[in-house]
Amino acid sequence: MKSCTKLFFSVGITLGLLTMGPSLAVGMPVLDFHLPLPKVETLPNGLKIAWFIDERLPLVDLGMLVRTGTKNDPAGKSGTVELLSRMLERGANGLTEQAFSAKIESLGATGFSNSDEESITLGMHGLAQDANELLDVISWMALKPNFNEAEFQKEKVKVAEAWKHLPDSAESLAGYVFGKALLGGTVYGRGTLASTSELNKLKIADIREFHRTQFSPKNAILMVVGRVDPVTFRDRIIAAFGSWKGAVTRTGTFSFRDPKTSILLSKKMEIEKREVLVVDRPEVPQAQVRLGFRIPGIRSEKRYALAVANALLGEYFTSRLNLIVRDRLGLTYGIQSGLTYYKDYAFFSIASATAAQNTGQLISETVRQLRLLKAGDVLAQEIEVSKDYLLGGYPISVSTLGSVANRWLNGYSFGLSSDYLNEYMPKVSAVTRESVVNAIDDAFHLDEMVIVIAGNAKVIEASLKEKGFKRVRIIQANSLL
Amino acid sequence: MRVALVVFFAGVTLAGCASSPKTPVGSVASSPESFESPEFAKLGLRFPLLERRLPNGLKVLIVQDSTVPVVSYQTWVNVGSVDESFGLSGIAHLFEHLMFKDSEKYGPRAFFNQLESRGAVVNAFTTRDYTVFYETMVPPLLPVAISLEADRLANLKIDAETLYTERHVVFEERKLRTENSPDGRMQEAVWSLVFKSHPYRAPVIGYEEDLKRMEVTDLTTFFKANYQPGNVTVVVVGDVKADSVFSMIEKAYGGIPGTPRKPRNIPREAVQSEARRVELQDQIATEKITIAYPSTSAAESDTYALDVLSNILFVGSSSRTHRQLVEENRIASGIGGVNYTPLFPGVFLASATLRAGHSASEFENGFESMIKEIQSNGVTEREIRNAVRQLTVQTVDSVRTGQGLANLIGTVDAIFGDPMRFKEDLTKYSRVTNADIIRVAKNYLTPEKKNVVTMVPTTGRATQ
């Protein structure tokens, strides 16, 4: 445990002979790339600790991930995890919320508690010299939250009020309705909150009970990233967490499309085949556009071929969509495609924004490009460029130990093997044109594509109909909540 | 959280941006200097810096850091929206877009075809004071970046067709950031309210009517005036050999003619003598407000006390505004603020989103009471100590990556003409006293210097 990872990955570089364009005969680096994996140990009570030691900067990040997220909200009690996460910041170890915040901020540090579909994460970031105190604070948050009734009522009000601001932004509206339309009927469909009526019914006893059953050392991992002495710090961790007990109790069955836990959405946000859903947000000149469909999950062998396909379609400035929709047609400031992975679900999506009167043209051109890909219109040269982009960008995306730790933690929470970070480059390198064409053919279910637009519905609808989109349904932004 | 640290260092007078006499010229060797200062040494931070200048005026700053095999290459051009002529707002930003289009030697989209397609992060940004182009990449791509950057500085091509298309892209960017965004609309209104004659009043992205009237000749004139080595600083941070990189830069840029940087002759904004207000409407759930006071430039010594004060007021859950107006009085759902100090005097900002049933004027009254309390009784020593600690962590955070360190060096150099300047800042923050806080609160945050932008829902104002 004493070794320090100063140079936390090594890159051996050989130069190939690829010519890179006029007058620039520079080789593309071929990278022999290896990221450091953390030392992981398990305390007798089952708590895992992952060590990413880095002496370079006088900083420390402590993070605790608990493997229970909004998809684990008990039936009829959506909002439980969101409120629990918020309550962990509202006082602990007998300190009031004010005293608790002051304790963290007196160190110049920042603390947080977040939740998503899969997990709750607590974190502390500050100077390395304060690592012991930060560890104390994170242990109080995890083990000794106050769960004060008055604070709970305040947080419920804040959550309800935050939702009222959703229609303020066309961008937020488009993202929200797109997520509901695409993920509806799955355990991910309800997001952080299914309805305000469920929120209103929640009691502090629900939060306490969820914490009691889900916060267990066997269900958690502590990340230590930065400048600490692992020997002495390990003793501090044992003092803070060693007596933590409890076995996790699952709150239900969480398989994909389980009718007991999945949410049947409001009819408003269900979408039928070949139907375009427009959320009316009048008075804004620009339409926010989202489209996408489900793809194979994170464990699929097609994942790397799809990563290459996604990159060539819409990830960089010379990708197809950018070249055509932005550079040639000047329709948008940006158009991006992306792959989103949950533990048990994945989807492909495209996001853009354009003047409302150009919406039909932008979507029409985007769908045309998807159809071309589906028909196998992919050049070997495009595949190589896309692979080079992904391979060259990977070292930059993991150029801090914090970014390596985050990626590792994502893999851990998804149950991937600890080597998955180092499999990325060889697996991308091995992608061929044939594997990309096959993956697109298998994964791009264009008939099931969900298209959602937020903006001035009247102008958008006219623009869509002009381009042949016949089934357009308009919903009002203020009717969603 | 407060905005990135670079903001705190933004701004100094024009003289500070002129050629620094201590900068070695040409290939004269210079030993790397260090950012080491007592405060940085205590934190174990040290960044050896090589600083040189070519005969044509190009300034080169290099920090060798082999921790990871990544290098950040940044080109800082000393031109921003503050340099735009009346009726040509947005030309600096539009030009940033055009710099990626075409050049005589390498042709269209060279940065994307030859760098981004190999994994480099390639992008740029424009501020009121400067324009920055950056590439972050694995070291073998550095010679390509140097060659391409030098080429577009010497041989950029601009034609009417490119201008037409890119102008429409900028229109869409403007819609995205401003016209579609309630917060973007408010921000634009704040700057035009605070500044009546100073060019900071115009938005960096420009007004659509100005962008529409720009011709190719406007752009070529702008290019010749601003894009030349004497007006440019190159910052390199990462896994490189400093002397070797400097040689490459010297070879690539050495033949480009340059002239000394011209002083900016921009008159100071008149002192504000009465409060100003504007009200906007939008489809929002509750009222919003931003209060802005004219502040300092980063070069002025009061900046440090104002920065500490803004941390005490706005940063964290125990900050005064959050504590009183979000937690206790519960009139606002979200609050933020910053002392923004660019090259010329900037703004001290306080913003809030009100809770349903509460009005912007309640926030305004509550904030004013808070300021009066500070003007009368100051703040606690503990608050000052906490704020300085927060600023220290923010400083260290800003240099976590090569790109972050390059941003910091480039900003400080663009503002002060001295990349070493930021090593003094932690010391200066630590010397701020309660008397300083009271003084700056009395001098800057006064009712007659207040500028208030409110936004109310189109459905009506909150009842009080």
pLDDT tens sequence across B302-356: 999 999 999 999 999 999 999 999 999 999 999 999 999 999 999 999 999 999 9
Query: Are residues B297 and B221 located together in one domain of the fold?
Result: no
Q: Where are the domains of chain A?
A: 39-241, 271-479
Q: How far is A44 from chain B (nearest CA, A)?
A: 35
Residue B352: the pLDDT is 98
Q: Cα separation of A166 and A477, whole Å?
A: 9
Contact (Cβ atoms closer than 8 angstroms) between residue B305 and residue B430: no
pLDDT(A6) > 90: no
Query: Are residues B249 and B280 located together in one domain of the fold?
Result: no
Please report, to the nearest 10 degrees, the dihedral formed by the alpha carbons of residues A216, A219, A225, A229 taken in order: 50
Per CB-CB distance under 8 Å, the chain A contacts of B399 are 57
User: Domain range for residue B305?
Assistant: 276-457
Share of chain A above pLDDT 90, in %: 71
Predicted TM-score (pTM) of this structure: 0.87
pLDDT(B166) > 80: yes
pLDDT(B8) > 50: no
Compute CA distances A115 → A70, A73, A193, A462, A464, whole Å.
7, 11, 12, 40, 37
Per CB-CB distance under 8 Å, the chain A contacts of B122 are 317
pLDDT(B180) > 80: yes
What are the pLDDT digits (tens) for B248-269? 999 999 999 999 988 898 988 9
H or E stretch at A99 = helix A97-105
Residue that is last in its domain, among B222, B253, B284: B253
Q: Confidence class of residue B140 from pLDDT cuts 50, 70 and 90?
A: very high
Residue B378 lies inside a defined structural domain of this protein: yes
Contact (Cβ atoms closer than 8 angstroms) between residue B441 and residue B306: no
Q: Confidence class of residue B36 from pLDDT cuts 50, 70 and 90?
A: low
Bin B249: left if φ > 0, else alpha if -120 < ψ < 50, else beta. alpha
Residue A31: the pLDDT is 57
A–B CB contacts, 8 A cutoff, strictly below: 229
- Is B396's Cβ below 8 Å from some Cβ in A? yes
Selected residue of B283, B392, B395, B430 to mutate for chain A interface (largest A Cβ count, 10 A): B283
Q: Cα separation of B71 and B30, whole Å?
A: 21
- Is B46's Cβ below 8 Å from some Cβ in A? no
The residue-averaged pLDDT of A173-184 equals 91
Q: Cα separation of A222 and A231, whole Å?
A: 16
CA angle, corner A165, sides to A160 and A166, nearest 5? 100
Of A423, A415, A427, the residue nearest A37 (C-alpha)? A423
B150: CATH: 3.30.830.10
Strands A59-66 and A120-127: antiparallel
b/e per residue A425-444 (b: at least 16 CB within 10 A): beebeebebebbbebbeebb
Residue B260 lies inside a defined structural domain of this protein: no
Q: Confidence class of residue A272 from pLDDT cuts 50, 70 and 90?
A: low
What tokens appear for A461 in the block? 């609808």
Q: Which residue is it, tokens 């992952």? A: A50
User: Between A6, A286, A388, which is nearest B117 by CB?
Assistant: A388
Residue that is last in its domain, among B221, B253, B285: B253
Strand partners, A95: A92
Same topology, domains A39-241 and A271-479? Answer is yes
Residue B35: the pLDDT is 53
Does residue B39 or residue A144 have the better pLDDT? A144
Query: Are residues B69 and B131 located together in one domain of the fold?
Result: yes
Residue B126 lies inside a defined structural domain of this protein: yes
Query: Are residues B95 and B229 located together in one domain of the fold?
Result: yes
The structural domain count of chain B equals 2
Contact (Cβ atoms closer than 8 angstroms) between residue B305 and residue B436: yes
Q: Which residue is it, tokens 């033949």? A: B255
Other C-beta atoms lying within 10 Å of the C-beta of residue A195: 16
CB contact under 8 A, B68 and A9: yes
| Max Cα distance, chain B (Å) | 70
User: Between A171, A395, A400, which is nearest B138 by CB?
Assistant: A395
Query: Are residues B221 and B73 located together in one domain of the fold?
Result: yes
User: Between A10, A28, A283, which is nearest B118 by CB?
Assistant: A28
Of A164, A165, A457, the residue nearest A284 (C-alpha)? A457
Q: How far is B119 from chain A (nearest CA, A)?
A: 4
| Nearby residues of A171 by Cβ (< 8 Å), 6 or more positions away | A288, A353, A454, B180
Residue A12: the pLDDT is 34
Residue B43: the pLDDT is 77
Q: Is B288 helix (H, G, I), strand (E, B) or coil?
A: strand
Query: Are residues B348 and B402 located together in one domain of the fold?
Result: yes
- Is B141's Cβ below 8 Å from some Cβ in A? yes
CB contact under 8 A, A333 and B172: yes
Cite the DSSP H helix spans in B260-401: 302-314, 320-321, 360-377, 381-398
Per CB-CB distance under 8 Å, the chain A contacts of B402 are 399
Contact (Cβ atoms closer than 8 angstroms) between residue A94 and residue A136: no
Compute CA distances B346 → B191, B291, B447, whole Å.
9, 13, 17
The residue-averaged pLDDT of B57-72 equals 93
Q: Which residue is it, tokens 């300190």? A: A95
Per CB-CB distance under 8 Å, the chain A contacts of B166 are 330
Output the 3-class SS for A446-478. HHHCEEEEEECHHHHHHHHHHCCCCCEEEEEHH
Contact (Cβ atoms closer than 8 angstroms) between residue B250 and residue B258: no
Q: Is B374 helix (H, G, I), strand (E, B) or coil?
A: helix
Q: Cα separation of A390 and B116, whole Å?
A: 10
CB contact under 8 A, B286 and A165: yes
The number of residues in chain A equals: 481
Of B392, B393, B397, B405, the residue nearest B68 (C-alpha)? B405
Contact (Cβ atoms closer than 8 angstroms) between residue B410 and residue B7: no
Q: Cα separation of B278 and A99, whole Å?
A: 38
Q: Cα separation of B460 and B286, whole Å?
A: 9
Q: Confidence class of residue B462 from pLDDT cuts 50, 70 and 90?
A: low
Distance, first Cα to last Cα, chain B: 30
User: Between A6, A354, A385, which is nearest B172 by CB?
Assistant: A354
H or E stretch at B428 = helix B425-430
pLDDT(A46) > 60: yes
Name the CATH topology of A271-479.
Cytochrome Bc1 Complex; Chain A, domain 1 (3.30.830)
CB contact under 8 A, B179 and A165: no
Residue that is last in its domain, among B253, B288, B322: B253
Q: Strand A286-294's sheet: what is its strand order?
A: A335-341, A346-355, A286-294, A450-455, A276-280, A472-476
Residue B68: the pLDDT is 85
Query: Are residues B69 and B141 located together in one domain of the fold?
Result: yes
Q: Strand A110-115's sheet: what is its strand order?
A: A39-42, A48-53, A220-226, A59-66, A120-127, A110-115
Other C-beta atoms lying within 10 Å of the C-beta of residue B268: 10
Residue A251: the pLDDT is 54
Q: Cα separation of B391 and B383, whole Å?
A: 12
pLDDT(A16) > 70: no
| Nearby residues of B35 by Cβ (< 8 Å), 6 or more positions away | B45, B46, B47, B49, B420, B422, B423
Output the 3-class SS for A260-285. CCCCCCCHHHCCCCCCEEEEECCCCC
Of A351, A361, A311, the residue nearest A331 (C-alpha)? A361
Q: Cα separation of B13 and B297, whole Å?
A: 8
May I ask the CATH class of domain A39-241?
alpha beta
Query: Are residues B69 and B156 located together in one domain of the fold?
Result: yes
Residue A267: the pLDDT is 56
pLDDT(B24) > 60: no
Write out the DSSP string of B129-186: S-EEEEEEE-GGGHHHHHHHHHHHHHHB---HHHHHHHHHHHHHHHIIIIIT-HHHHH
Of A404, A457, A306, the residue nearest A9 (C-alpha)? A404
Burial class (CB in 10 A: 0-12, 13-18, 19+), B257: exposed
Per CB-CB distance under 8 Å, the chain A contacts of B320 are none
Strand partners, A292: A349, A450
Residue B7 lies inside a defined structural domain of this protein: no
Strand partners, B26: none
Residue B325 lies inside a defined structural domain of this protein: yes
What are the pLDDT digits (tens) for A51-90? 999 888 899 999 999 999 998 999 889 899 999 999 999 9
pLDDT(B247) > 60: yes
Distance, first Cα to last Cα, chain A: 52
What are the pLDDT digits (tens) for A305-339? 999 999 999 999 999 999 999 989 999 999 999 99
Q: Cα separation of A116 and A98, whole Å?
A: 26
Q: Which residue is it, tokens 């080169």? A: B60
* Mean of pLDDT over chain B: 89
User: Between B70, B100, B396, which is nearest A396 by CB?
Assistant: B70
Other C-beta atoms lying within 10 Å of the C-beta of residue B32: 13
Q: Confidence class of residue A265 from pLDDT cuts 50, 70 and 90?
A: very low
Of A278, A460, A240, the residue nearest A354 (C-alpha)? A460
Q: Confidence class of residue A258 from pLDDT cuts 50, 70 and 90?
A: very low
Q: Which residue is it, tokens 């019914």? A: A201
| Nearby residues of A367 by Cβ (< 8 Å), 6 or more positions away | A291, A446, A449
Of B370, B248, B230, the residue nearest B314 (C-alpha)? B370
Q: Cα separation of B96 and B156, whole Å?
A: 12
The residue-averaged pLDDT of B272-298 equals 96
* Mean of pLDDT over chain A: 87
What are the pLDDT digits (tens) for B360-419? 999 999 999 999 999 999 999 999 999 999 999 988 898 889 999 999 999 999 998 888
